[in-house]
Each structure stands twice: as structure tokens, then as C-alpha cells.
Amino acid sequence: MYEPLVVALGLLACMAVGEVLATITRARVPSLLISMGLYLAAVWCGVFSQDSVDQHTLVAVGNLLTGLLIMHLGTMMPLSTLKVQYKYVLVALSGMLGAVLLVVGVGSFIIGYHASVAGAGPVAGGFIATLISTNKLTEIGLENLVPIPALILALQQLIGLPIAMLFLRRYAIKWIAQSRSQSAHVTALAGATTSSGGSAPTPLSSPPTEPDVEDDGPSPLFPNQMYSPAVILAILVAGTLAATWIGETTGISYTLWCLVIGFALRAFRILPARSLDKAGSFGFATTTVTLVVIVAVGTVTPQNLLQALLPTLVILVLGPIGIMIGGSATAKLLRLDRNLATPVALTALFGFPGDFIICKEVSEAVTCNKTERQALLNHIFPPLLIGGFTTVTTGSVVVASVLMSTL
């Protein structure tokens, strides 16, 4: 009777400690990194059983709500914002290509071609790429290499999140400083104009390239009172079910279809903007989905680490370097700020919800009020979200499939 409650308390405690320490350090250390480290230590010490955790209700609910949360993201991003994100798609693809070239090209001379290929797909993406790699390795009798993609999937976030957080924090501080400077200039200009008898100037947008706070777009098709929590959740579940079927039919991950369906339902005004917020379920959904990510590292054992330590370390060094080189080179060509483009490329290492978590933490850490916080979050989150879906959801599947076919 008490065991499910004790496990739930332990999981949430790992998450809570990570969030508290991230707040204390003002987002210099990502909460997800701390929480994953605490959970892995607890599994190794026997505090948690990975099998029982995988079957726990909170984890099951998190897996169920993943699609709903992604659809929610589709409803909160205006189409006007997405039209300007194509440059970051190119950044993400270039970063992924850089990782593959460096891991396979250089890594083959250090750990061998087979080991390099085994890890190249996962380091350029996520779970689906790992699944493709492990299935192929098992099929051709290279079971000894199976721990490599599994370890990379479990550990790549520990590499990617701190680096992405570092660059994103630099960018956020500069962006906020520019916004405040522009606001002060407008205020001073308005005061001077008013004192001289003229009319106050129209405030400038802040910053010039992006609106402060995105509006929610047109009103929903139906009256607001009809959108009860049950109605919104029913539509989201139906959309997730449709996305799952389309994913199985097309072979493209259902998460991408969840995002597309979320966009469509909002564009046709069937769902309200920020649907899970309207249903009062966003906080719970975010918490449970984050727990799914945290407990993923529980499959890593000390023995697996020792056996696959060298290949994994080589790939985890070469992969992020290749991502940053490829992303930065494209950012320079497209005249994008490297401090934002680099985290976009690095989403290949963590995807969703890691991208949302670090954006949220950085926004809370470097801003002074709710208006600034929302403006910054609206500015930095869309590029990272698009980057994550470009790599983790789609690009890495192609990469893993092509590379595995060469073995």
C-alpha cells in the first residue's frame, strides 16, 4: 500500500532538489542534470528498483501525457512566429551533420567504424534513433555494442544541457540588457517630447527583431465556457491517438504529428491557445513528462559503463563538438547570434522537454518581472523547440537508418 507513495515521493524529491539547486545557482546548473544524477545514484545504491519505477503510475502517466504536452506546445506557438524559424531548422540540421561527420570520420580511427556508427545516430537525436541502432546491432550479432547507444541516450543530456544552458544564459542576459536599454531610451525620448509640448512617441518594440509578448491569436471557434478541462483533454487525447496512428502508418515519429495536429487545431480555432493551461493541467503534465526523462538513466549500470566507457566517452566528446561546429558555421553564414544558435543545434542531445526546461529556468533567472520573463521565453523557446523536432524527432531517424544500413 505504501510502496507506490514512497516511490512517488522519492522521484519527486529528486526532481524538487534539482529545481531548488537550479534556483539557488540562478540556472547555472540545470535542474534536470541534478535530478538525473540523484536518481542514478539512488538506483545504484538500491534505493530504487528500475523495474518498479518503470511500472509506476507517475511514469505511466508521463508517457501518456507526452503527446498531449507536445500538442499543447503546438497551440501556444503562433504561426507568425514559426514563419521566421526556418533558419534555425538549417542550424539544427547542420549541427546534426557535423556530429555524424566527426563521430564517424574521426571516431572510426579511435574506436572502430562499428562502434562509431552504433553511437552516431543516438548522439544526433534521441530515443527512436537509439531503438533503430540497438535493433540492428542485435539483428546482425553485434550485441556487445548495444550498450553504446543506450549509454549515449542516457548520458548525452548530461553533456548537452549544461553547455546549452551556458550559451543560452549569455544570450538571454544580452537580450534583456538590449531590451531594457531600448525601453529606457523610449521613456527618455517620451519625457523629452512631452516636456517640450509635443506628443509622446509610439514605443518601440523590444527587441526590434521580435515582439515582447506574442498574443494568443484569434479566439476559439466555440464559446469559452464550452472549453472545460474534460473537453480540452478529450480533444488532446483524440489528437494524440490520431498522431499515433499516423506515425505508425508513415513511419515518422508520432511526436512530430502531435505538434502538427496541435498547430492545426489551433489554426482552425478548434482548441484555445495554451490548451493545458486552460485545462489547469500544464504543471502536472510537465512534472510527469520530466520524470520520464529522469528515470531513463536508471538502466545504466556500473558494469555497462566500464565495458562501453571508452567508445561512449569518445562519441560524447566528438558528437557535441561536431554539433557546435556545424551549428556555429551555419549561424555565421545566416548571420545569427552564436549564443542562441548553439543551443538550438545542441537540442539534438536532449530534445523535449529539456529544451523547454532550460528556457524556462533561464527566463526566470535573468529577468526581474513577469513581462520580461514571458517576453524572453517567447523569444528563445520557439527556435529551440523547432531545433529539437528537426533533430530528435525526424533527422536522427534518417541518420540512424542510413548508418545502420552500412553495417
pLDDT (tens digit, 9 = 90+) per residue, 207-225?
433 333 344 556 677 777 8
Domain ranges within the chain, ordered by starting residue? 3-184+211-404
Provide Rg for the chain, Cα atoms.
22
Higher pLDDT, 22 or 403: 403
Grid cell digits, residue 184:
529606457
| Other residues' Cβ atoms within 10 Å of the Cβ of residue 108 | 15
Q: What is the pTM of this model?
A: 0.66
Helices (DSSP H) in 334-395: which residue ranges? 338-346, 351-366, 370-388
Helix, strand, coil percentages (3-state) for the chain, rounded to 5, are 80, 0, 20
Three cell numbers, residue 406: 552500412
CA distances from residue 358 to 27, 213, 258, 284, 362 in whole angstroms, order as listed: 8, 19, 22, 18, 6
**What is the grid cell recorded at 89?**
531548422
Amino acid at 153: L
- 145 DSSP assignment: G
Q: Indicate whether 150 pLDDT > 60.
A: yes
Q: What letter would DSSP give residue 212?
A: S
**Size of the chain in residues:** 407
Cell numbers standing for residue 387: 531545433
Least confident of 1-5, 182-186, 280-284, 356-360: 182-186
Residue 401 clears pLDDT 60, i.e. is over it: yes
Q: Taking 70 as the threshold, does the pLDDT of residue 187 lie above it?
A: no
- Alpha carbons 53 and 167: distance in angstroms, whole number: 34
407 within 8 A of 145, measured Cβ to Cβ: no
User: In whole angstroms, what is the distance from residue 140 CA to residue 60 CA?
Assistant: 32
The candidate with the shortest Cα–Cα distance to 286, out of 298, 274, 272, 300, is 274
pLDDT for the residue numbered 239: 94
Percent pLDDT > 90 in the chain is 27
pLDDT at 116: 92
What pLDDT does 180 receive?
Answer: 82
pLDDT tens digits, 57-97: 998 998 888 889 888 877 876 665 556 678 898 999 999 99
Task: List, for residues 288-321, the tens digit of each pLDDT value.
Answer: 888 887 887 777 677 766 777 899 899 999 999 9
CB-based burial, 295-317: b 16+ in 10 Å, e otherwise: bbbbbbeeebeeebeebbebbbb
Architecture of domain 3-184+211-404: Up-down Bundle (1.20)
Residue 118: Cβ within 10 Å count: 34
Confidence of residue 201 (pLDDT cuts 50, 70, 90): very low
pLDDT value for 178? 87
